[in-house]
């Protein structure tokens, strides 16, 4: 059922643990044969008091380097959108950590706000799911407190290209021939395989994509889903999905594509429409110094803070339901 939420209808949920503060640490997932090192932020349940942590223009309440409170905790991986970064959804990460989840958000290498050197074309779309698998591998084996995580309860949250990333991880096989061109010069480095087709209309390059059956449930908001518009492209996705679309979308037609994705998924997702929201409304609240930025502009009358309070409650409730012990 499609649910058009009012901000006054806040979902209720119960807490996993007594921890009411988000521990926060930063780490680097080492480079390996599959790619460069990956910068990551990790939030976790914590019983220590929080303090204000300044990160660029953001002021975040957190308990730096707090030991993880709890055992056999579920793990959530967060994937940002095009040009995003690991703090782009920090309020959602904090809400999850406060209720008993370990959350890791990554910067996709060479495709994030600080380094867009390889952000265009087909290569980053192939590498993104691989980044997620590497992050899960690290959190379950290389992370200092890996023993606190239950490897049977792994979830995923992704926005925009991050949503695309999750759908591939879950078993999706995108039709790259549907991609819009992003590069001004189609022959530029990294753009050669963006969406070139042969005369019959079939994509020339069919890359090997990374799927990961350890992910048991996922939430995706305004995903890049133009490449998932047929039943064949999503036929192998069989995990619970909560799917969000912004009512006002963006120039790419996010809500239309999300609605088609909802229709073709083999198991109907928990589908939500965010009223009066634009694509960027799923990003965390902006610092005052950044309010003029395009990513901070909402529709007239839209209250991003109120929306995120409701949104985070729904995300927490969904993961509690599907990643319960």
Beta bridge partners of 38: 29
Are 193 and 205 in contact by the 8 Å Cβ rule? The answer is: yes
What's this model's pTM, rounded to 2 decimal places?
A: 0.88
- For the segment 89-104, the average pLDDT, to the nearest whole number, is 97
Of 311, 232, 315, 282, residue with least CA distance to 88: 282
Look-up of token digits 């239950």: 150
Nearest Cα to Cα of residue 23 among 78, 62, 76, 56: 62
Please answer whether residues 83 and 118 qualify as being in contact, where contact means their C-beta atoms are separated by less than 8 angstroms: no
Q: Which helix (H) or strand (E) holds 64?
A: strand 58-64
Question: Nearest to residue 299, comparing CAs of 252, 247, 258?
Answer: 247
Query: Minimum mean pLDDT among 14-28, 47-61, 86-100, 297-311: which range?
Result: 14-28
Q: Return all residues near 141 (Cβ < 8 A) that are at least 6 apart.
A: none
Instruction: Render pLDDT for 252-281 as a digit per residue (tens, 0 to 9).
Output: 556 888 999 999 999 999 999 999 999 999
Model pLDDT for residues 49-59, shown as the tens digit of each residue: 999 999 888 88
């Amino acid at each position: 059922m499609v649910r058009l939420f009012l901000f006054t209808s806040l979902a209720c949920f119960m807490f996993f643990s007594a921890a009411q503060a988000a521990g926060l640490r930063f780490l680097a997932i080492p480079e390996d044969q599959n790619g460069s090192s990956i910068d990551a932020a990790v939030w976790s349940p914590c019983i220590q008091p929080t303090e204000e942590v300044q990160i660029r223009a953001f002021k975040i309440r957190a308990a730096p380097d707090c030991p993880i409170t709890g055992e056999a905790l579920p793990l959530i991986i967060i994937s940002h959108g095009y040009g995003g970064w690991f703090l782009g959804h920090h309020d959602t990460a904090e809400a999850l950590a406060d209720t008993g989840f370990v959350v890791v958000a990554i910067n996709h290498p060479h495709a994030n706000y600080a380094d867009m050197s390889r952000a265009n074309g087909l290569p980053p779309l192939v590498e993104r799911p691989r980044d997620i698998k590497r992050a899960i591998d690290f959190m379950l084996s290389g992370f200092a407190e890996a023993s606190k995580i239950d490897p049977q309860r792994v979830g995923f949250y992704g926005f925009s290209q991050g949503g695309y990333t999750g759908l591939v991880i879950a078993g999706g096989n995108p039709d790259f021939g549907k991609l819009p061109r992003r590069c001004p010069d189609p022959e530029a480095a990294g753009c050669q395989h963006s969406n070139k087709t042969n005369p019959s209309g079939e994509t020339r390059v069919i890359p090997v994509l990374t799927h990961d059956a350890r992910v048991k449930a996922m939430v995706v908001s305004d995903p890049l889903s133009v490449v998932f518009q047929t039943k064949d492209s999503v036929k192998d996705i069989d995990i619970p999905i909560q799917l969000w679309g912004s009512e006002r979308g963006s120039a790419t037609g996010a809500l239309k594509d999300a609605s088609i994705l909802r229709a073709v998924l083999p198991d109907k997702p928990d589908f939500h429409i965010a009223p009066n929201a634009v694509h960027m409304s799923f990003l965390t609240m902006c610092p005052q110094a950044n309010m003029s930025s395009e990513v901070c502009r909402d529709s007239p009358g839209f209250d991003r803070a109120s929306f995120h309070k409701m949104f985070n409650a729904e995300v927490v409730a969904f993961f509690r339901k599907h990643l319960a012990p």
